[in-house]
Amino acid sequence: MRPNLRPVPSCVVLLGLLGVSCTDRTPAPPAPRAAAPAPTDGCGPAVEDQIDNVRVAVLEEMMARAARDAAAGPATLGQIVIAEEQRLQPGGQVFVHDASPAVAAHFAGRTPPVENYSSAFQMDQGHTVRKENQTAFSTGDICWSSPTRAMVAARTLTGAGNRRSTAKVERSGDTWRVTSLEPRR
C-alpha cells in the first residue's frame, strides 16, 4: 500500500523584495522567455555586432559635452559612471544596469576614472544608498534606420536631476559619430 503523499508547503522570505512566498514544492513550469521586441516606429533590425560601438560613441559625446559644461561653470562632474537602460516592456519600467563588458573596457584607464553604474552605490546601515557627487551617463533603446544610422535614447543623471536626450549616430567606415544630441521629453 502506497502512503498518501501531498506536497508540503514551505515559505521563503525574499529579502530583496521584502516579501514572503509560499509554495507547495511542486516544480513550476519554466517561465516563458521574452522574444526580442519587434521593431516599432520605423526601426529596422538591430545590427548586433555594432551595438557596443554605438553606445560608446554616444557615451563619449555626452561625457565631452558634460566636461565642456563643467569647465565653463562652477559645477563638477564628480565620480563618472556609465550604464545601460532596458525597458522591460513597451511603456513599462526602465531597468538601469552596468554597461556591457566591452563598453566598460573601452573606458578603462581613463582619468578621471569611468566606472560601471553599480559602483555608484554603497551600503549604509543595511540599506543601499547612492553615493553623492556623481554623474551617470546611460544609453537605452537603439532604433536602427539602416545598418549605418541609428537613434539612441540617452540620459545624463546628476544630483540636480536628469537630462534625457536622443542621439543620432552615423557610421563612416569603422567609426560611429554622433551627428546630433537633442533633448527629448
Q: Which amino acid is at 140?
A: G
Please give the residue range of the domain that contains residue 59: 48-183
Mean pLDDT of the chain: 78
The whole-number average pLDDT for the span 30-48 is 61
**Residue 110 in domain:** yes
How many helices (DSSP H) and strands (DSSP E) are in the chain? Answer: 2, 11
C-alpha grid cell for residue 151? 537613434
**Residue 74 in domain:** yes
Q: Cis before residue 112, ω within 30 degrees of 0?
A: yes
Closest CA to 82 of 56, 48, 51: 56
Burial (0-12, 13-18, 19+ Cβ within 10 Å), 79: middle
Residue 29 has pLDDT above 50, yes or no: no
**Residue 176 in domain:** yes
According to the model, what pLDDT value does residue 41 have? 59
**Residue 38 in domain:** no
**Residue 32 in domain:** no
Total domains in the chain come to: 1
**Residue 10 in domain:** no
Name the more confident of 136 and 152: 152
Q: What is the pLDDT of residues 48-96, one digit of tens each?
A: 999 999 999 999 999 999 888 888 877 677 788 999 998 877 777 888 8
**Residue 73 in domain:** yes
Residue 44 has pLDDT above 90, yes or no: yes
**Residue 37 in domain:** no
Q: What is the pLDDT of residues 102-131, one digit of tens each?
A: 999 999 988 888 888 887 777 888 877 777
**Coil/strand/helix, residue 13:** strand
Residue 47: other Cβ atoms inside 10 A = 17
- Distance between CA 146 and CA 12 in Å, rounded? 48
Cα 90 to Cα 37, 39, 40, 86, 94, distances in angstroms: 9, 11, 10, 10, 10
